[in-house]
Amino acid sequence: MLDYSMLYPRETVSRRVVSQDGMWKFCLDEQGAGESLNWPEGIPGNEMIPVPASFQDFYTTKEIREYAGDLWYEKDMFVPEEWKEKKILIRFGAATHRAVVFVNGIRIADHEGGFLPFCADVTEVVRYNACNKVVVKVNNELTVTNIPCGQTVTLPTGRKMCKPYFDFFNYAGLQRSVWLTAVPKESIFDIDTDYELDGTDAKVSYTVKTTGEHPVTVELFDAGGHSVARSEGKEGVLSVKGARLWEVRNAYLYRLAIRIMDDGEIVDEYEQEIGIRTVKVSKTEILINGKPVYLRGFGKHEDSDVVGRGFNMGVMKRDFELMKWIGANSFRTSHYPYSEEIYQMADREGFLIIDEVPAVGLFESLMNFMEASTGKKTAFFAKDTTPVLLQAHLRAIEEMITRDKNHPSVIAWSLLNEPETTDEAAVPYFKEVFDRARSLDVQKRPRTFTLVMNSLPGTCKCYQFSDIIALNRYYGWYVSGGYDISNGEVLFRKEMDAWEALNLDKPFLFTEYGADTLASEHKLPSVMWSQEYQDEYLDMTHKVFDSYDFIKGEQIWNFADFQTTEGIMRVNGNKKGVFTRQRQPKDIAYKLKKRWENLPLNYKSDI
């Protein structure tokens, strides 16, 4: 079990939160000698860098952009005297891919995994009414024993270079917000919620974990601030009369207030917005509140100019406005859990999220997008290092589900992206991963993974684990592209007919499909990379989607152009975006808008 709380930092009558976002001292450690040089007590130089942000795109040299190794951050944090009786924590939204935290020269916390929060308990080492020196050593190297997977090599120059087994840039650093927080010694540690609908009423089941034994009260408030239900005890059920449901693109949020009490006094208080809704897969239907839903939307990335993968509130707002404009109702957090603020926005806007753990690159290929349909086999899950990777993977699943389980927007867990599944060695690995996700989620949301093009009905050994079959397919692009697109349609239909023949009685979802397109490129007749070809590609692909009733969603790759490792197959990044990296529409955005606005929410359903 996690030894730190994943609750989002919130100020209440008992809790204090101070943002540490801003300019931090920064330096690279090419020799990996920082600890031996006493950098935990303070790093050299006067270089400053923004937090949150990726470090790579601020500078003008390739040596920094491509840097692999240790990088150090430093900031003074003031801890007031009035916090003396509380537990003091520094919460990092993410440190990619691993971090060591020092406070006043003392090593306090270690964490591996670059896309989920962790807390450093600094209660015993901070000086009160004084500044405390916080130093963080971050390492961005890729390995096969941590997700996302890749390798780190040493070039003849002596410099290290990351070689990802995935098709997005290895942005790194303190990419999300950092908070200095104070909570009572006896505090609320974790919350689980589940929902049951009964006509116009609802039952909200809850479990609260605390660090002590004082009694707990739980109260539910509607959007107007009126109390609608109350209960006592760490476990219970709140009965809500005339419940307002959280619906797709029509969100309604209640406020759940949890208090630890001692003779009428509040020991600790925490509040969280929740949405009353149910999620279920029944045969080929994805049901929200018992009603069928056809997903339309995107694979996305946290990726933007200058700050890279760093959380950017302005970009988040623009992205949601564009998704609303185009008629989307969902997205997948490809290929890692996103910043928590994005889930909070999705909760408010009524978007559905397929939440993905950073298990990408579990197929040994530096160009997996080209080799995905070649039948290549690498026996990835038969490696001697697989048991170590599995433990890192399971830990990331626990952190993701613990963090995100109470968001109404989260309707499914994606546990791997494009893994190698053609070898029997994958089967026990998958079983552990899927079983762990089921055991951690009280709501028992559907679990899935996205199938690479090598994973076909006759070759994939693992599709049986998925509650939703999620396909990443590029017929007409990586397979039979250009003038051969008519053959691409034939091959596409042949595969879908083979899936249909299996009678899986599960919903199918296309989690990736798309064609690289330069916003500046027009040509008639079309050629690949032109806007005209992207239009023709989507016509063919959507025609196939519309031909099979068990296909219950389409999430195009990608929402916006994004940065990748440089190479001859990438023109300054992946250009499959419906929008440019600067969040402006390509021509195809208007075609998608027309299609999605005219697709009923229950498209292809008899219910």
For 40-67, write each residue's pLDDT tens digit: 999 999 999 999 999 999 999 999 999 9
Assess whether 512 carries a catalytic annotation. yes
Confidence of residue 1 (pLDDT cuts 50, 70, 90): confident
Label the pairing between strands 551-557 and 508-512. parallel
What confidence score (pLDDT) does residue 606 get? 78
Map out the domains of the chain with their CATH numbers: 16-184 (2.60.120.260), 188-274 (2.60.40.10), 291-598 (3.20.20.80)
Q: Of the residues 340, 418, 521, 554, which is catalytic?
A: 418
Give 203-258 pLDDT, tens digit per residue: 999 999 999 999 999 999 999 999 999 999 999 999 999 999 999 999 999 999 99
Q: Of the residues 302, 420, 512, 554, which is catalytic?
A: 512
Asked if residues 138 and 111 have their Cβ atoms less than 8 Å apart, the reply is no
- Look at residue 365 and tell me whether its pLDDT is greater than 70: no
Q: Which residues of 505-531 are buried (b: 16+ CB within 10 A; e: fewer)?
A: ebbbbbbbbbbbbebebeeeebebbbb
How far is the C-alpha of 393 from the C-alpha of 395, rounded, in Å? 5
The closest alpha carbon to 556, from 571, 573, 578, 572, belongs to 578
Residue 430's alpha-carbon distances to 36, 443, 462, 540, in angstroms, are 41, 21, 7, 33
What confidence score (pLDDT) does residue 568 get? 87
Residue 323, token pair as written in the block: 């998704």
What confidence score (pLDDT) does residue 373 get? 56
Range 118-137 average pLDDT: 97
Q: Which residues of 536-572 are buried (b: 16+ CB within 10 A; e: fewer)?
A: bbbebbbebbeebebbbbbbbbbbbbbbbbeeeebee
Asked if residues 556 and 593 have their Cβ atoms less than 8 Å apart, the reply is no
- pTM, full prediction: 0.96
- Look at residue 363 and tell me whether its pLDDT is greater than 90: no
How far is the C-alpha of 429 from the C-alpha of 387, rounded, in Å? 9
Fill in the amino acid letter for 576. Answer: K
- Look at residue 461 and tell me whether its pLDDT is greater than 80: yes
How far is the C-alpha of 56 from the C-alpha of 67, rounded, in Å? 8
Phi, psi of 307 (to 5 degrees): -95, 0
The closest alpha carbon to 331, from 412, 242, 212, belongs to 412
* Geometric angle at alpha carbon 143, from 139 and 148, rounded to 5°: 85
Mean pLDDT, the chain, whole residue set: 96
Confidence of residue 505 (pLDDT cuts 50, 70, 90): very high
* Geometric angle at alpha carbon 330, from 329 and 332, rounded to 5°: 170
- Look at residue 607 and tell me whether its pLDDT is greater than 70: yes
The closest alpha carbon to 301, from 101, 574, 514, 108, belongs to 574
How far is the C-alpha of 252 from the C-alpha of 236, rounded, in Å? 22
What confidence score (pLDDT) does residue 2 get? 87
* Geometric angle at alpha carbon 50, from 305 and 120, rounded to 5°: 120
Range 420-444 average pLDDT: 96
Range 302-308 average pLDDT: 97
- Percent share of the chain, pLDDT over 70: 98
- Percent share of the chain, pLDDT over 90: 95
Range 337-355 average pLDDT: 98
Give the other-Cβ count within 10 Å of 582's Cβ. Answer: 13
Asked if residues 78 and 16 have their Cβ atoms less than 8 Å apart, the reply is no
Confidence of residue 465 (pLDDT cuts 50, 70, 90): very high
What confidence score (pLDDT) does residue 372 get? 56
